[in-house]
A and B are shown apart, each in its own frame.
Chain A
Amino acid sequence: GAGVSQSPSNKVTEKGKDVELRCDPISGHTALYWYRQSLGQGLEFLIYFQGNSAPDKSGLPSDRFSAERTGGSVSTLTIQRTQQEDSAVYLCASSLGARGNTEAFFGQGTRLTVV
């Protein structure tokens, strides 16, 4: 596609439910990143993929968070047993180069609200 696409754009879920967020990166981009942005805050790094492998998972805040990437393309971020503090905008980005040495292009984000 023309840019990084994320779905859904908005998600409201009840506390305790699981959610899956999807990211479709720019075709050919081998690096993919997930970030979390709380209201009025900066970007918190969650996980980085190079191809299908995740050499850096250091940002995942708890074992309720997991992510996978298949076929070197689409990635899903899963949050299990959601809590209210998980409410935020989840941003995905992709880039051509490895480990953050080239420009990253962001998706429009998924706004997650846990009620």
Chain B
Amino acid sequence: GENVEQHPSTLSVQEGDSAVIKCTYSDSASNYFPWYKQELGKRPQLIIDIRSNVGEKKDQRIAVTLNKTAKHFSLHITETQPEDSAVYFCAVGQLTFGSGTQLTVLP
């Protein structure tokens, strides 16, 4: 079955710096790659997604890049703010999730 690896497991950045989280996957047939943000005690919520026919997608301070050849995709958050602190999960389709990254933005 599909395997998704996510790195790093924890990430601390200073407010205003950028944060990058990376995921690799195994199934080359996959074509939908969402990212979810989960705040403590709350449900996961989609923050951005990308399909296999594009290489990059941006939404304000958030961007996702996809390299289908290398089978990896990354989440980029610029100008980080304390409210960005949460656990971020990548996924391949909706069936396989990465193990999560705890992002802490230090004020």
Contact = CB atoms under 8 A, between A and B. Distances in A.
A107 B100 CA distance: 19
B95 A45 contact: yes
A11 to B, nearest CB: 17
Interface size, A (range): 20 to 34
B93 interface: yes
Contacts of A103: 34, 46, 49
Interface residues of B, number: 20
A110 B46 CA distance: 20
Interface in A38-81: 41-45, 48, 56, 58-59
Interface of A: 31, 33, 35, 41-45, 48, 56, 58-59, 91, 93, 95, 99-109
